Amino acid sequence: MTEPKKIRELGIQVGKFLTGEKNCITDVPGVKVGHVTLDYPLEQEGSYACTGVTAILPHDGNLFKEKVVGASYVLNGFGKTTGLVQVNELGVIESPIMLTNTFGVPAVTQGTLQYMLKDNPEIGDTTGTINLVVGECNDSRLNSIRELPVQPQHAIECIENATTEVSPEGAVGAGKGMICFGYKGGIGSSSRILQDEKSGTSYSIGCMVLSNFGRKEDFQIEKYRLEETEALPAYPKTADGSIMIVLATDAPLSSRQLQRVAKRCGIGLGRTGSHFSHGSGDIVIAFSTAHKIPHSSEESSEERKQLREDHAIMNDLFAAAADVTEEAILNSLAQAETTTGRNGNTAHAYPFGEVRLP
């Protein structure tokens, strides 16, 4: 079997900006990613656990005590997330960002809560409650979703094994059972480094997607001048599907500015062939690590630096948000391996071939 390659190893370059060293969301300093992958038969005949959990941690400290600026943007709302109402109201994220399958949201929420309560005994006692952020896609074509294989301990394990290393991609973690453009999708990531030439300051921006959308006919394969090496069948039952997009940056942005940047992720999604279909939950969760916001303070005011709206670096962030989203989706396809799940259902790895010359 050919080793999966990232899209750049196949000769495709997205956008004009340089990637980070790892070309991964973990190029944003301090960001950690963890996965737990479930891949085994269940007791009932034909049933199979083909699913998992993915955690994105904005930093390696106590996220409840040191929050980060956050925002979300809904491209199409056919999704079952937790926590986004408060994120947009208060403009902060105070927990790991968790991804899983649709029916795994309650268990992952519980596990994440248990983890955060253990680290913060004051939550719900001497201080307020906590806002947990969990997103999902429907992996029921390959995963026996009704059997509820994802359990709270998987979320805890996922958070505990998170690292700043290059994240595995494709059919791992929450991406284990996902299908994209009729072929095996899942986890994908990419990053960019932006330079403010006048000040010499550089900023990083990274993206991680959970791709589970689109039909084969939608994929803009001709745009990338790629050929299919063999006529492997696309998954026979098409679905509107979904995509979760997590965007991270160390640029000093307000919550409102983050939401503006998050909107541009939809451009990258559209470039690959999505039209944000009726039944697709297309949701962006964004955060900035530039500031750590204390949970409590005796001061009545606080100061934060933020970028000017009219500075050229804002347009670079807009463009880079589109680029990293597009490349992360392509990487989720390029890195995924053929996967068989419940009732023998199989999603093939996309048969990427060589790049055709212009």
Q: Which residues have a catalytic role annotated?
A: 242, 280, 282
Q: Distance between CA atoms of 188 and 243, rounded to whole angstroms?
A: 11
Q: Tell me the backbone φ, ψ of residue 66, rounded to 5 degrees.
A: -130, 90
Do the beta carbons of residue 91 and residue 83 sit within 8 Å?
Answer: no
Q: Distance between CA atoms of 174 and 178, rounded to whole angstroms?
A: 8
Q: Distance between CA atoms of 9 and 14, rounded to whole angstroms?
A: 12
3-state helix, strand, coil in the chain (%, to 5): 25, 30, 40
List, as one string, the DSSP characters of 226-290.
Answer: EEESS-PPPPSS---EEEEEEEEE-S---HHHHHHHHHTHHHHHHHHT----TT-EEEEEEEEEE
Q: Tell me the backbone φ, ψ of residue 291, rounded to 5 degrees.
A: -130, 140
Q: Distance between CA atoms of 194 and 255, rounded to whole angstroms?
A: 20
Do the beta carbons of residue 238 and residue 61 sit within 8 Å?
Answer: no
Q: Distance between CA atoms of 51 and 84, rounded to whole angstroms?
A: 23
Q: Distance between CA atoms of 123 and 133, rounded to whole angstroms?
A: 16
